[in-house]
Structure formats: structure tokens, C-alpha cells
């Protein structure tokens, strides 16, 4: 196996997460400059290998790589020989043969970044979302957003921003890589996490998950420091996981009425893309404590930090 | 020598495919006249093993396995007979395809019999010509790879089969409940974000078919049972006197869903690897007679298929060359009981007692294997005779190895080397 990689939040642990957040803090400053570019990764080549549609994650990674002066290539499925039947392994080995330093992988099947890492000899692999499994950089940017909002970064003395905080993750946990990564990340940083969802949208087993579960959003909201709302896909209705989106919104949507139950300081977060009016009301997204666009902005700095730590600093971010 | 009649020390003389003498000491002269002498010092001489569940892939998927390569792997694993599963392309659902596979098996390293499909094209819609296939010697029928979902059709198949002296074998899986699943549903599937198949998908069909067997009076054989609940159902049915037999695969008493953590689809199989409790239940059921046979579910796939993402890769593992050693290494059962599960009990279920499964006595068919119980070896995928490499046991140290295999009096494996 090559490396180092960023495959899973579970591999990072508290120290790994905090290291990324510390470096992110520095890159936020870079992003605010008139010319937001540093030469840290000049001469490095980074490939985005996206087998699934993605706007924000792909653009965020590419922006991050460019601000670090890396060369970037995008391999998107429609324009590639994958449509001619090329296997994942052949594709990966072809890309490696071009001489690259990192591959950012997004795939609809859980585990693909592990397979890619096992076939490569040199380049780092970054998991940009694998099936329902993990989306580590999303969790990192979410942690950063909470810590920053809570002023937990002062003096670089650790990340108290999530310690002892109550976080509710609301919605389709079962099919969510964001939820899986965020449960690991939030709890690693000391938060208490409550999953709020109908039983059909929870994983079949929560054995070993350091979370509590509720089916009563109204009961949970007043106690939250952070409410993290997940996207609700229309296709879940066809699978009889919920009878209708109307019924879902009535039970689990962050409606305007429900938002009044939130404490004044409570943050509202969403990984995007949103279904306004389904899992979150348009009015709620306009609330001052709704940090959804801050999440996107921080995403670039977090991904700069990840690329820098994996490719630039020579420091092992994660065990390879 | 170990067979269903017990254990004894003896020399065996074979001629014209028949056991002609079993004596404490036949002496050097017995083999005179151009015969071959196989050294079995320190080994167990046993009836050749019988696999109830082999995917030979021919016709249609010859890149994964052929009758020739699969039979060679079988002989190296100690088998003198295998039942070829009908999920080929085309399916073995007619006398013509049965005849084709039997012909391919004629010169192979082991006896090749076939299981016919219960329904046309294994599509679960229309009864296949069971009598025409039975006339060619087919004794087991199954749509393996899928269960027959339609209870009414399964009832008709059982009723029809009961007059033919054949047995229906079910791949127990409720397709609706299992839909979209790729591993056992539970702690690991939840963690790994892989859609799961609940144990109940298997158990529902076991329940249904026990009920249908009671309704029709027809016997039923359950393929590759993997859950604690299924085994309890079979145990209770046997206690009630129902005509039911069951098999389990070596991977279901040696591996759990935790193996999937690295996303290597060599660990993808159907039924899926289950929990520690299920593994313990399979071992218990092998020990107490709830399970009648260890069957390999040998399912070769080419490497490129197993390199697909986990949820897209086909299920299945190799089994023929490791089953005996896994049973000897992992099960705390006497050798007699291991061989009962691998040889004479499956021979009975397959309807092969005339030629297979022993006992080794004067006049019986000379289908034997010679097992070195003490030999230790490490599984090397590259060294396997199968055309595919998808063993989940790469690097595993096992005890017990086949030294010789004799098919109809001919040594097809000598000192661990295939002769054909």
C-alpha cells in the first residue's frame, strides 16, 4: 500500500482531527488574502477521480489544490474510457502511470478508496465520499465550522468547541456517509451526539456507535448546541422508508415553527445540497445561526490543510 | 482405514475399479503384475469425499472454471464426486444441458453428477422437465443462486418430485427481504455502509419450505445454511420426524462478517458471512447431527470480477481444495464424524450410495482418498488447481492434506499431484 492516505475519520482519531483543524486555521488566513495562493504544493499533481456527481466537493478540492499551486486533473466518468468498459483497477493504474501525487476518489460504492489505495504504489488517496460509508473532509470542515463559531481555536490550545456540546444529527442516517463520518468526528472531539430519525432511516444496528437515538425532534431541539440536518432524498419514498415527504417534514423537518425551539446560540448546519421545504425550511436557512455557507467556505481551507499535510509537509497525517 | 463401519488398520487391493481385498496385511505380492502401490503409511484411507454443492461454471462461464479444472481441484481436495450446480449459462434445466455436462465430466478427475434446475431458466416461473432430467440420473434439483420465491410453484415442484424419487434442494433466501443486500445485515454492515441481508431472509424460506414439505410429504434439502435461527428450525423439524436434510459450507463455520472490514470482495458470498454466534451455531449443528453434510459452495470467479467495488462484485468463494483441511483444523470432531459429513452422508443425499461414500469392503466401488492428518500447509491461491483464485483463506495455515485420490480404481492424485 502507498500512502499516506485520508480514507476514514475513524483512522484519524482526536489528535489527527485536531492537527487538521490547526493547519486549517492557517489556511483560512490565506484564503482571505488578495491573492489567495501559496506555493506549498508547486510541482505536485492531484487527480480528481469522481465516479459520482458532485459539485461542491469536487470544486472545493480543486480550488484547494489550486490555492496550494498544485496541478490538477479531473477524471470524470462520462468523458473517460470507463464508458468503454475500463475497470476501476485499470483506470487507477493508468492514472498512476502518468506520475501523480494524489488521487481524490468519489464513488457510489462503499470501500472503493480502500481498493484504490491497495492498488497504488506511491500516490496518496483521499476519500471524497464512498457510498453510504464515509466522507472525511466533510466531517473535518463541519468540526472546523463548529469550533470556529464557538471560538474554540484561540491560542491553538486545542479544540474545546465540541467538548461537552450536544449535537443532533437529523434525518436519513442510514444512507448517509456524512452522518457516519460526523458521528466519528464529533464524538472524537467530545460532543454528545443524538441521532434523530424514523427507525427506517437508521442503520440496522448501532452496536458500537457512541450515540443516543430519538424519534422526537421537538424534544431534542431545545437541548441542542448544534442541529445538523441531512438531505432527504425523494427516492426514499419509493422504497417505503417514509410514506410521503409531507409526513417526513411534519415529523423530522426543521420547519420555521420548530426552529423557535432552538436555543439562541444553537448552530444550524447542512452538508448540501438542500431540499428546501423538505428537511429544512427556506426561512431557517436565512437565520443568523445557520452556517451552511460558512461550511462551504471552510471546506476549501480544510481541504487545503488535508492536501498540505498529506503531500507537502512530510508529516504522516494518517497511518498509511 | 476409516469408513461408516468404523476404524481399522488394513491394506486394500483394487482391481477393475472395484475393491477386491481388504486385509490386515496383503503383503508385497498383492500388487504384483504391473499394479501401482500407493503408500498410505501414517495416513487415513477413506471413501472419496462427495461435494453436494459445486459450481463448475461450464457451460457459459469457462473463464472462471471448467468441468475439467473444477474436477481436478476436487480430486486434489479428496473428492471423488461432485454435484454440479445448475446456474450455468444456459442453466441446467433440460435433458440436453444435463447430457452436455455429464459428457464433459466423463473423463474428469472425479465423478461429475448434476443438479437440475427446478424451474425453467431458474426464473422461478415454470416447472422444469424434472422427469426427463431424472431419467438421465439427476437426483437433486435446485434453482441455487436464488430460492424458488413462489410458494405455490414450490409446492407443485415438491408434489411432482415426490413420485420421481428425487430431492428438491433450496437456496433459502426471501428475495424481497434480501433485496439490494451485499453482506450480513448487522453491526458490520451498519458500520461499513454496505446494504445488508438480514438472517431472517434465510430463515423465512426455511420455515416456508418446512411447511411445504409437511404439506406435500416430499423431502427437502437445505443448501448452505448459515444462521442460528435456520439451524434451530431444522433441529426442531428433525425432532418432529420431518424428512429434511441440511448442509453447511466451511466459510460459515470459519469466517464472520468482520472480514468484510477491508472491503475485499473475496469475502463476499451468499449467504453472507454472519456473526460469531452464527459460526458457533453452525459448529454445534455439525456436531449434533442437525447438519448432515459439509458442502463447499465452490464458486469460482475471475480476479477482475472480484476487483469490482464490493457491492458490484459477484458473491462466491473457492472451496474444493480447502474444505477437508478446514474441517479437520477448525472442528473439534473425531475424524469419523468429519468424514461422515464430507463423504458418506452427502453421498446418501446425492443418491450416490451405489458408487460413492464407502464402506470400503470387498466388492465396493474403488473411490477412495488417502489423507495425511498431520500434514500442515499454508493456503497459496497461486498454487490452487482451480482456474480462479478467489479463496478467502490465502495465507491460512491448515492441518490435514490429501495425499492420494483414487477414482474407479485409478489414482487421479498421487502424492498431492493430479495425474490428469
d(CA B406, CA B373) in angstroms, rounded, equals 18
**Do B199 and B170 contact (CB within 8 A), yes or no?**
no
| Number of Cβ atoms within 10 Å of the Cβ of B275 | 19
d(CA A177, CA B190) in angstroms, rounded, equals 11
pLDDT > 80? residue A316: no
- Average pLDDT of chain B? 97
Considering the entire predicted model, what is its pTM?
A: 0.94
The verdict on B312 touching A (C-beta cutoff 8 Å) is: yes
The verdict on B190 touching A (C-beta cutoff 8 Å) is: yes
The residue in chain A having the minimum alpha-carbon distance to the alpha carbon of residue B176 is: A239
pLDDT > 50? residue A155: no
CB–CB of B309 and A114 under 8 A? no
pLDDT tens-digit readout, B30-62: 666 678 999 999 999 999 999 999 999 999 999
Across the interface, which of B187, B193, B198 has its CB nearest the CB of A110?
A: B193
pLDDT > 60? residue A317: no
- Largest pairwise CA distance in chain A: 56
Strand partners, B277: none
CB–CB of B193 and A133 under 8 A? yes
Using the CB atoms, write b or e for B370-391: b if 16+ within 10 Å.
bbbeebebebebeebbbbbbbb
d(CA A130, CA A141) in angstroms, rounded, equals 17
The verdict on B186 touching A (C-beta cutoff 8 Å) is: yes
Of the pLDDT bands very low, low, confident and very high (cuts 50, 70, 90), residue A51 is very high
- What secondary structure does DSSP assign to B143-195, as a single string? -TTS----HHHHHHHHHHHTTTT-EEEE----HHHHTT--EETTHHHHHHT--
ipTM of this complex prediction, to 2 decimal places: 0.92
pLDDT > 60? residue A190: yes
CB–CB of B185 and A131 under 8 A? no
CB–CB of B304 and A110 under 8 A? no
pLDDT tens-digit readout, B186-226: 999 999 999 999 999 999 999 999 999 999 999 999 999 99
pLDDT > 50? residue A86: yes
Using DSSP bridges, classify how beta strands B44-47 and B368-378 pair: parallel, antiparallel or unpaired. antiparallel
Helix and strand numbers, DSSP H then E, in chain A:
12, 9
Element holding A267 (H helix, E strand):
strand A267-269
**Do B341 and B292 contact (CB within 8 A), yes or no?**
yes
d(CA B167, CA B172) in angstroms, rounded, equals 15
Catalytic-labelled residue, pool B144, B297, B355, B372:
B297
Which of B309, B311, B394 best probes binding to A when mutated, by most A CB atoms within 10 angstroms?
A: B309
A91 contact residues in B (CB cutoff 8 A): none
The residue in chain B having the minimum alpha-carbon distance to the alpha carbon of residue A51 is: B309
Chain B nearest C-alpha distance from A253 (Å): 24
Torsion of CA B188, B194, B197, B198, to 10 degrees: 40
**Do A137 and A303 contact (CB within 8 A), yes or no?**
yes
pLDDT tens-digit readout, A267-283: 999 999 999 999 999 99
B297 catalytic? Reply is yes
| Number of Cβ atoms within 10 Å of the Cβ of A32 | 9
The verdict on B304 touching A (C-beta cutoff 8 Å) is: yes
pLDDT at B290: 98
Across the interface, which of B186, B190, B309 has its CB nearest the CB of A111?
A: B309
Across the interface, which of B186, B193, B308 has its CB nearest the CB of A205?
A: B186
Nearest to B339 by CA among B412, B411, B400, B418: B400
A111 contact residues in B (CB cutoff 8 A): 192, 194, 263, 309-310
User: Measured between alpha carbons, how far is residue B208 from residues B171, B172, B215, B242 in Å?
Assistant: 12, 9, 10, 13
**Do B385 and B419 contact (CB within 8 A), yes or no?**
no
Amino acid at each position: 500500500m502507498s500512502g499516506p492516505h485520508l480514507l476514514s475519520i475513524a483512522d484519524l482519531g482526536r489528535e489527527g482531527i485536531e492537527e487538521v483543524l490547526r493547519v486549517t486555521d492557517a489556511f483560512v488566513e490565506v484564503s482571505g488574502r488578495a491573492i489567495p495562493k501559496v506555493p506549498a504544493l508547486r510541482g505536485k499533481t492531484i487527480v480528481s477521480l469522481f465516479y459520482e456527481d458532485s459539485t461542491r466537493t469536487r470544486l472545493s478540492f480543486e480550488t484547494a489544490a489550486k490555492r496550494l499551486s498544485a496541478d490538477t486533473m479531473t477524471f470524470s466518468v462520462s468523458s473517460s474510457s470507463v464508458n468503454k468498459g475500463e475497470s476501476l483497477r485499470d483506470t487507477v493504474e493508468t492514472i498512476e502511470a502518468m506520475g501523480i501525487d494524489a488521487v481524490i476518489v468519489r464513488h457510489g460504492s462503499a470501500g472503493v478508496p480502500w481498493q484504490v489505495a491497495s492498488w497504488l504504489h506511491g500516490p496518496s488517496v483521499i476519500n471524497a465520499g464512498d457510498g453510504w460509508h464515509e466522507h472525511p473532509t466533510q466531517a473535518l470542515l463541519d468540526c472546523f465550522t463548529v469550533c470556529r463559531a464557538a471560538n474554540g481555536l484561540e491560542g491553538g490550545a486545542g479544540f474545546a468547541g465540541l467538548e461537552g456540546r450536544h449535537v443532533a444529527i437529523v434525518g436519513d442516517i442510514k444512507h448517509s456517509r456524512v452522518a457516519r463520518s460526523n458521528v466519528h468526528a464529533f464524538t472524537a472531539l467530545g460532543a454528545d451526539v443524538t441521532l434523530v430519525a424514523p427507525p427506517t432511516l437508521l442503520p440496522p444496528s448501532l452496536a458500537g456507535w457512541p450515540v443516543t437515538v430519538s424519534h422526537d425532534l421537538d424534544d431534542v431541539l431545545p437541548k441542542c448546541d448544534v442541529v445538523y440536518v441531512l438531505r432527504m432524498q425523494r427516492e426514499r419514498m419509493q422504497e417505503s422508508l417514509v410514506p410521503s415527504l409531507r409526513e417526513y417534514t411534519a415529523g423530522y423537518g426543521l420547519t420555521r415553527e420548530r426552529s423557535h425551539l432552538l436555543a439562541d446560540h444553537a448552530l444550524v448546519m447542512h452538508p448540501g445540497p438542500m431540499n428546501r421545504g423538505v428537511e429544512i425550511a427556506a426561512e431557517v436557512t436565512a437565520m443568523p445561526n445557520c452556517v451552511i455557507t460558512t461550511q462551504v467556505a471552510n471546506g476549501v481551507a480544510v481541504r487545503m490543510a488535508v492536501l498540505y499535510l498529506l503531500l507537502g509537509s512530510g508529516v504522516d497525517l494518517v497511518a498509511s | 482405514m476409516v469408513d461408516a463401519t468404523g476404524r481399522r488398520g488394513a491394506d486394500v487391493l483394487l482391481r477393475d475399479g472395484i475393491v477386491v481385498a481388504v486385509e490386515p496385511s496383503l503383503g508385497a505380492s498383492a500388487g504384483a503384475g504391473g499394479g501401482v502401490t500407493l503408500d498410505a503409511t501414517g495416513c487415513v484411507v477413506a471413501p472419496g469425499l462427495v461435494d453436494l454443492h459445486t459450481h463448475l461454471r461450464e457451460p457459459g462461464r469457462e473463464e472462471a472454471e471448467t468441468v475439467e479444472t473444477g474436477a481436478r481441484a476436487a480430486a486434489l481436495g479428496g473428492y471423488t464426486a461432485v454435484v454440479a450446480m445448475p446456474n450455468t449459462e444456459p442453466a441446467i434445466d433440460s435433458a440436453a444441458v444435463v447430457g452436455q455436462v455429464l459428457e464433459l465430466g466423463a473423463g474428469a478427475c472425479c465423478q461429475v453428477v448434476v443438479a437440475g434446475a427446478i424451474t425453467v431458466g431458474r426464473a422461478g416461473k415454470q416447472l422444469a422437465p424434472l422427469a426427463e432430467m431424472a431419467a438421465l440420473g439427476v437426483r437433486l434439483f435446485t434453482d441455487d443462486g436464488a430460492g424458488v420465491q413462489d410458494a405455490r410453484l414450490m409446492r407443485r415442484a415438491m408434489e411432482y418430485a415426490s413420485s420421481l424419487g428425487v430431492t428438491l434442494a433450496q437456496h433459502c433466501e426471501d428475495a424481497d427481504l434480501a433485496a439490494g443486500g451485499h453482506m450480513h445485515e448487522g453491526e458490520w454492515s451498519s458500520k461499513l455502509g454496505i446494504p445488508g441481508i438480514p438472517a431472517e431472509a434465510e430463515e423465512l424460506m426455511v420455515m416456508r419450505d418446512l411447511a411445504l414439505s409437511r404439506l406435500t410429504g416430499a423431502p427437502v434439502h437445505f443448501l448452505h445454511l448459515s444462521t442460528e435461527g435456520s439451524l434451530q428450525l431444522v433441529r426442531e423439524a428433525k425432532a418432529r420426524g420431518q424428512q429434511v436434510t441440511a448442509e453447511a459450507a466451511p466459510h460459515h463455520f470459519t469466517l464472520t462478517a468482520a472480514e468484510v472490514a477491508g472491503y475485499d470482495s473475496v469475502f463476499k458470498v451468499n449467504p453472507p458471512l454472519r456473526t460469531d454466534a452464527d459460526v458457533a451455531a453452525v459448529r454445534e449443528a455439525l456436531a449434533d447431527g442437525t447438519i448432515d453434510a459439509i458442502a463447499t459452495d465452490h464458486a469460482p470467479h475471475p480476479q477482475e470480477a472480484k476487483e469490482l467495488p464490493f457491492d458490484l462484485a459477484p458473491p462466491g468463494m473457492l472451496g474444493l481444495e480447502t474444505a477437508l483441511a478446514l474441517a479437520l483444523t477448525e472442528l473439534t470432531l473425531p475424524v469419523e464424524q468429519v468424514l461422515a459429513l464430507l463423504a458418506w452422508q452427502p453421498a446418501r443425499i446425492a443418491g450416490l450410495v451405489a458408487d460413492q461414500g464407502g464402506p470400503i469392503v470387498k466388492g465396493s466401488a474403488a473411490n477412495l482418498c488417502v489423507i495425511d492428518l498431520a500434514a500442515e500447509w499454508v493456503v497459496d491461491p497461486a498454487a490452487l488447481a482451480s482456474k480462479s483464485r478467489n479463496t478467502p483463506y490465502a495465507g491460512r495455515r491448515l492441518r490435514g492434506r490429501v495425499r492420494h485420490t483414487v477414482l474407479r480404481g485409478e489414482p487421479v492424485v498421487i502424492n498431492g499431484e493430479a495425474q490428469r
